[in-house]
Structure 1
């Protein structure tokens, strides 16, 4: 798959050289690093997971080269940090046409740039490498009138590669489906397991245990297990509260599998039975989500999917008296944002909030087959929300699925996780006995 990605990028850039750097190592505390995770663009093109690496793609008159600069083999360091691919492994295992030690970068990179008319490089990600590139460009600016060599412009390749990443191949869909399936299993087990009196972190631990047990790297983002009032905070992830009888539990958790992310949210009663008020709010959100998913098919504007969810939520809140007035005016004035303040979805892929423009030529883009997106409307009612009866306080509901756009319409990749009220209560009743 990586060779196809490189070939497509090389075709798009034409004559020129593209340079990509690996993700930096990040320090967690003192001399302890965070677990390393490769830069998504770098991995998309190379499949190479080691730090301190540089990928150079040379496109020149129909001839292309894939070159990797990597850490050299080092027996002493490998005892501590694990085996390195080295230059031979970069060629043998990762398909590089040429590979060099990262220590040779300053010597070899100028030779690769001499024949390029354009340099594709994303400034602003790595300051130390930015300085290296800008120093070379100053040199070429000075020497090019006499030598005719070297690039005359730096072009950000992000727009090109991110547009590529927005459209998933069949192989990518298969891998992402596995990430979704792992997360789906974890959500179902959490739904079966939760009881009043447990702590949020116990559910978090169960979910992330299933992720690792099932072959995922771990969570794609910090797992949210938000009970009672915590469910009204969008990105709550402290997960420390004791879950009380009568609470709703909002669980937003996704797995990362082979660099692809899932992102699923379910909300359900800790004691297995929705109260009347909880059910009312839940069914408004569910209706909005189902209506939004029904909209998804090629040619539909991304924003129209969100607008449909807003319409359903506004109508529902008007019906129960939490909003007052005319629905069109409320939507125009964004009066609903008191309860629903985020967009209905986002792209999903190697990053949980994946790359790709939502607008093209200043217009909301129309969705196309191969795109994967989330659909996640919500309603959040914190305690003492003005104008809201206390019986609705501390109700936070979000329902989120991962959806593939197909030629015919769409496919909900996370459909096996229960979300109808009867399904949820029935599943939980089996466990609660």
Structure 2
């Protein structure tokens, strides 16, 4: 069985024979006139099908003789000459494990018939393509229903929460793809560090990353590149990438290559000219120590919130030791005074989406999620001091530092998938004085 058929089976076991699951794929999006943006499949749809064509709907009927039905575009030689090959309906049944393939143009006509006498409709329509059909799906009767037959009153449920919790635990196939995305992204970050120099534009460093990850099989990035020099790093999701890097500034990079739909997510911060000043080094070490304090706690059974609490304590103590914060450490933590400079939370799940789906709390509970083997997530503490922050000494102003690694929970601890991207001060300065990838 393929990874996708196993996931469909796993999903079906959470439903019952009175259920129908409907998963809507993505459509092409127009960029301008007859030019489309590069197509990317809906993540839930891809997770269950592995199929990467637009205008598709997957129907799963647990316990049925034909449990897996796909509505999709049929073959069309004219369109395929213009825009690329299609699997076609025969190809779906022959090569993609589909029990029955139906032309997408017949979807609205035939979908209700597939419900038969099942009462529960589980819907994943993340882009709202068929929201206008839900009322019809609830109330439509089969044409052959006599007036005195047993009536079927349907109910609609959201399917996404079930898929989301499945996606939190990665299977071996997913882990292999994430590891390759991480490896490619590590090489991309090294190349960016080595391309950095005064007056080099941020867009050049961004393009350097894209060029490098393509050598490792990535044809896209998992999110918009962030290459933020100097005070630009204060903006957490800076994507302009259009300013020249200035000597003496730091560059904050948040870059993740996407490999076969799975992404990495790495942040590094380094001096434009390859050498940390004393102030930059002092702040940088605080952030790195905070990151490592959180990583050290990762193991099955640990609670998600403990990672955040650990790095916040290290960040607060570091800011206190440097004189940026004042007072008692416990009072600082109780009031969250450090959050003025640390800003964001610990990290997030990672996989098909950079901020991947899944709850951070245990199901039906107010308790934080307990870590389990094969969870993958980021840890990314940071310190951000705006250039106009006159409450701190001038040497700290305009420095933004974020360090982010991708962590896999194992049976007895963790693997840092991105540790080869230079992260210590010595590693960064050595890397930037070289011209070779690691």
Return the alpha-carbon distance in structure 2 between the equivalents of residues 145 and 11 of structure 1.
Answer: 34
Asked if structure 1 preserves the Cα contact closer than 8 Å seen for 2:69 and 2:100, the reply is yes
1:57 corresponds to 2:69: no
Asked if structure 1 preserves the Cα contact closer than 8 Å seen for 2:66 and 2:99, the reply is no
**Residues 17-75 of structure 1 deviation map (CA, whole Å, 9 limit, x = unaligned):** 100111122122233211100001001111111111110001137x5611000112111
TM-fit CA distance, 1:93: 1.7
Match of residue 295 from structure 1: 297
Match of residue 116 from structure 1: 118
Alignment of 1:82-101 (within 5 A): 82-101=84-103
Q: 1:415 aligns with which of 396, 407, 419?
A: 419
**Residues 321-361 of structure 1 deviation map (CA, whole Å, 9 limit, x = unaligned):** 11111222222222111101111110000000001000121
Instruction: Give the TM-score, by structure 1 length.
Output: 0.96
Alignment of 1:155-304 (within 5 A): 155-304=157-306
Return the alpha-carbon distance in structure 2 between the equivalents of residues 321 and 144 of structure 1.
Answer: 81
Instruction: Give the TM-score, by structure 2 length.
Output: 0.94
Asked if structure 2 preserves the Cα contact closer than 8 Å seen for 1:186 and 1:211, the reply is yes
Match of residue 129 from structure 1: 130
Asked if structure 1 preserves the Cα contact closer than 8 Å seen for 2:112 and 2:140, the reply is no
Secondary structure of the corresponding residue to residue 106 of structure 1: helix
Return the alpha-carbon distance in structure 2 between the equivalents of residues 56 and 148 of structure 1.
Answer: 24
Q: 2:371 aligns with which of 356, 367, 374?
A: 367
Q: 1:314 to 1:64 in 2, by over 3 A?
A: farther
Return the alpha-carbon distance in structure 2 between the equivalents of residues 370 and 149 of structure 1.
Answer: 45
Q: 2:108 aligns with which of 106, 109, 115?
A: 106
Identify the range of structure 1 (106-115 vs 89-98) with the bigger mean alpha-carbon deviation.
Answer: 106-115
Work out the number of aligned pairs and report it.
Answer: 430
Secondary structure of the corresponding residue to residue 319 of structure 2: helix
Secondary structure of the corresponding residue to residue 84 of structure 1: coil
Asked if structure 2 preserves the Cα contact closer than 8 Å seen for 1:122 and 1:155, the reply is no
Q: 1:405 aligns with which of 402, 409, 428?
A: 409
TM-fit CA distance, 1:284: 0.3
Q: 1:330 aligns with which of 329, 332, 337?
A: 332
Structure 2: where are the runs of 5+ without partners? none
Structure 1: where are the runs of 5+ without partners? none
TM-fit CA distance, 1:247: 1.0
1:47 corresponds to 2:65: no
Q: 2:393 aligns with which of 371, 377, 389?
A: 389
Return the alpha-carbon distance in structure 2 between the equivalents of residues 189 and 427 of structure 1.
Answer: 9
Return the alpha-carbon distance in structure 2 between the equivalents of residues 431 and 115 of structure 1.
Answer: 66
User: What is the alpha-carbon root mean square deviation over aligned residues?
Assistant: 1.9
1:30 corresponds to 2:33: yes
**Residues 274-319 of structure 1 deviation map (CA, whole Å, 9 limit, x = unaligned):** 0000000000000000000001111111011011000000000001
Secondary structure of the corresponding residue to residue 343 of structure 1: coil
Asked if structure 1 preserves the Cα contact closer than 8 Å seen for 2:300 and 2:413, the reply is yes
Return the alpha-carbon distance in structure 2 between the equivalents of residues 384 and 328 of structure 1.
Answer: 28
Match of residue 138 from structure 1: 139
Asked if structure 1 preserves the Cα contact closer than 8 Å seen for 2:248 and 2:271, the reply is yes
